[in-house]
Structure 1
């Protein structure tokens, strides 16, 4: 008698169907277990195993049932095997379905104009897919990583476009740092010598320096957030390699209020290519600290800094003759004082961010300052302040600038009457009152 065991190795749909048909046939053949002597099953006396009823021996019936049981057990084993084969076959069919759909999609795509686009145009489209963030997170579900998973042609174009890989946000990964370094290197190597913009979310280990080393001649922008509370020495920044192509440096230390990393960075490590410096998150600068960077200030066009000394601010402007944009953060200015007049011809954007009610020094500062090329002026306060309209109007009149935007943000209140006074001085002036400013977040 053929059993399902003969079909144990079946893998095709026809083999599986054949095995199932055999099992079904067997079950039908032995589905009736009644005999003319079934009532003998109820005989209570079992002391006579060889009782014969109408010429048929019970022992023969038992032997037949044993054979039937063996057959059923074999069928059950075979059915289990067939069910496993069905599951495997289902997986194979699903995989085949996906491959067929993928192949259909590919060949349908061949008639699409998208596939006939030159590589240069496709590269530009890929650029438009990049997040607007200054530094890109290496996430698999966003460009440029996502572009490498769509299809082989797109992967080749994405991998072959160096400018897609020039920005990177490096995050700490703990025990997986070595694996992460390998990934970061593979990312940065795709830039093929293009200028790099790198950001380190947590600069707290000499290992980060090793990541920079192969690309020191490419790094044009570097942002570092230092966590001093973890016990990392601020001298770590002094080990920063020379970056001859560096144009922008950002240093943050929000969790280390007494951290002064700029005191340990040698000026020789800040090249003449520097154009932008953002240390507004660091402790306030005074004139002494400003003097440490005389060789750097002269080249800067954009500065963000914290200071509570009005004289230091004017001194900074003297050190930066090419400065076009300045943001000053302060929590407490000194009292008003008479300062030596200063005219800076290149400042186009000025932002004063004050966190306290004390604005006495602003009076002395703006009485001494003239900015004839100023285009955007922002005053932002974290607390309600009594701002002297007379001082501001005198500053604008003295500067004779073609101011385009005057922005009041934070908690500074400006009435419509006051706005009209400023517009009377500069008719084309656009005044913005923004109470949702994020300067104080």
Structure 2
């Protein structure tokens, strides 16, 4: 009797799952595609793996494979990160065939591609067939990476490029020449992991700044930061790594379009930002963040004066790292902007 009951339960379970699978098969392709998008990793650039979507979905059944392979937007993000052995000629040629098959499935839609650059000339050959599709490109260059100029020199040939991330231990005028010739489609530039920029280095990109709305950068001096703001009239989001060591008096500057401003201060004294706060007015600011590694009191008087002078409708004030704010200070900010949310984060992931 017990065996009969177990058999009936197994039959019921099989019937239920067959019905479920049958229902999934009957879903329109558009619905399945949307479901498959929800299965993708949240990473901006996907590292191919047979254990995660979209590749995993191609192994479930033939109908699913047809939908996955036939949905270009599942294949428009790629992180090219071969293992050390893949740079041997035979293995790299095999890897290139795989990467091409991935990118071809995107069928002409905009691509987001990341390279960890060890052998730039080989990666350049992979990049060239897709120059008209690439809208987002991230390049991390390592010491001994062959000749990184080979990869960077094709940047002016990317007519659809909107976002560029370059991370490198050194940055030469020759490397910057390619970035200075970027197309007017560019909107976002992340050079926060390059050596610090001064006014002279900012001049390397003079023809690029005017189009940008989002910048992440390491600035060596407050004068250079104010100069950057003058070069970027359309800027709406700015993340600045700073290592200032003085609080000199600066010429006042108003920037009408910045909505989000983040400072990641690497110097020991938070007071070095005083001169900058005293000079700036940002009437459209909505999000203001300060991260500081060393233990310091929040620069309350100058920051409160900065916000009052800007007359902005600040929505979020974010304090990260080891900066301290008192309850009385918090109340004064709320009085200045009643809808303000203040977040105190006792960590500093950007300094790791």
TM value normalised by structure 2: 0.89
2:95 to 180, 195, 207: 180
CA offsets 1:36-56 (integer angstroms, 9 cap, x no match): xxxxxxxxxxxxxxxxxxxxx
Q: Which residue of 1 aligns with 2:69?
A: 159
Q: Secondary structure at the match of 1:265?
A: helix
Check whether the contact 2:120–2:148 (CA below 8 A) recurs between aligned residues.
Answer: no
Q: Which residue of 2 aligns with 1:148?
A: 58
Instruction: State whether structure 2 residue 32 is matched by structure 1 residue 122.
Output: yes
Report the Cα distance in structure 1 between the residues aligned to 2:320 and 2:152, rounded to whole angstroms: 37
- Runs of at least 5 residues in structure 1 that lack an aligned partner in the other structure: 1-103
Report the Cα distance in structure 1 between the residues aligned to 2:344 and 2:77, rounded to whole angstroms: 34
Distance 1:268 1:435, change over 3 A: closer
Instruction: State whether structure 2 residue 250 is matched by structure 1 residue 339.
Output: yes
CA offsets 1:244-293 (integer angstroms, 9 cap, x no match): 1000000112xx3x444775433464110000000000100011111222
Measured after TM superposition, the shift of residue 360 of structure 1 is: 4.0
Instruction: State whether structure 2 residue 219 is matched by structure 1 residue 307.
Output: yes
Q: Which residue of 2 aligns with 1:232?
A: 146
Measured after TM superposition, the shift of residue 124 of structure 1 is: 0.7
TM value normalised by structure 1: 0.72
Distance 1:208 1:269, change over 3 A: farther
Larger radius of gyration: 1
Check whether the contact 1:223–1:250 (CA below 8 A) recurs between aligned residues.
Answer: yes
Q: Secondary structure at the match of 2:278?
A: helix
Measured after TM superposition, the shift of residue 204 of structure 1 is: 3.4
Instruction: State whether structure 2 residue 329 is matched by structure 1 residue 418.
Output: yes
* Higher RCO, 1 vs 2 (CA within 8 Å, ≥6 residues apart): 2
Q: Which residue of 2 aligns with 1:19?
A: none
Report the Cα distance in structure 1 between the residues aligned to 2:145 and 2:46, rounded to whole angstroms: 28
Measured after TM superposition, the shift of residue 222 of structure 1 is: 0.4
Instruction: State whether structure 2 residue 125 is matched by structure 1 residue 210.
Output: yes
Report the Cα distance in structure 2 between the residues aligned to 1:133 and 1:267, rounded to whole angstroms: 25
2:228 to 280, 301, 316: 316
Distance 1:190 1:197, change over 3 A: same
Instruction: State whether structure 2 residue 119 is matched by structure 1 residue 194.
Output: no
Distance 1:268 1:326, change over 3 A: closer
Q: Secondary structure at the match of 2:48?
A: coil
Q: Which residue of 1 aligns with 2:205?
A: 293
Check whether the contact 2:118–2:145 (CA below 8 A) recurs between aligned residues.
Answer: no
Check whether the contact 1:238–1:266 (CA below 8 A) recurs between aligned residues.
Answer: yes
Distance 1:189 1:378, change over 3 A: same
CA offsets 1:381-405 (integer angstroms, 9 cap, x no match): 0112344311011001000111011
Q: Secondary structure at the match of 2:228?
A: helix
Report the Cα distance in structure 2 between the residues aligned to 1:108 and 1:126, rounded to whole angstroms: 20
Q: Which residue of 1 aligns with 2:167?
A: 252
Measured after TM superposition, the shift of residue 318 of structure 1 is: 1.0
2:311 to 400, 405, 414: 400
Report the Cα distance in structure 2 between the residues aligned to 1:214 and 1:159, rounded to whole angstroms: 20
Measured after TM superposition, the shift of residue 296 of structure 1 is: 1.0
Q: Which residue of 1 aligns with 2:343?
A: 432
Measured after TM superposition, the shift of residue 238 of structure 1 is: 4.2
